[in-house]
Amino acid sequence: MWVLSLIASYIGYLSTKEYLAFPSELTYSTGVVSLTLYSFIMLRFCLSGLYVFVKGQRMSDKHQKVSMMIILSGFLLLIIYGFSFKVFFISKVKSKGYYTCADIPSGWMPGMATKYVKEKGLCERAR
């Protein structure tokens, strides 16, 4: 499970790296950016499972509470990171002269992603 979350984090890292390269056409999603921190949250889940597997007993209530606080803090950090990056990124995109395409990017659910292009004509080409 942690290997899968590492892969998800790597995908998030690559997407963030691509966003910061500012190509002529990009599809931005806050969820993809948030994936970069996902493996750190999942690490705690996996360590909890490993403890049970190695020790053969469940963790104490004290350790479970600490684990839950770490996991909840991680999710809160993930949300704050995603939205603060969005605010930073959108202002950067606007200052670089990108246009926002009005339609939903191909392959994305409504409201999950926004397509930005350097030239208006690229919005119609992608339909």
**In the block, residue with structure tokens 């209530």:** 61
Report whether 16 contacts 36 (CB < 8 A). yes
Q: Give the pTM.
A: 0.74
pLDDT digit string, tens, across residues 65-85: 988 898 899 889 988 988 899
Q: Which among 93, 105, 1 is positioned nearest to 44, based on CA atoms?
A: 1
pLDDT digit string, tens, across residues 15-45: 889 988 999 888 888 888 888 888 888 887 7
pLDDT at 2: 77
pLDDT at 95: 93
- Residue 65 buriedness (CB in 10 A; 0-12 / 13-18 / 19+): exposed
Q: pLDDT averaged over the chain?
A: 85
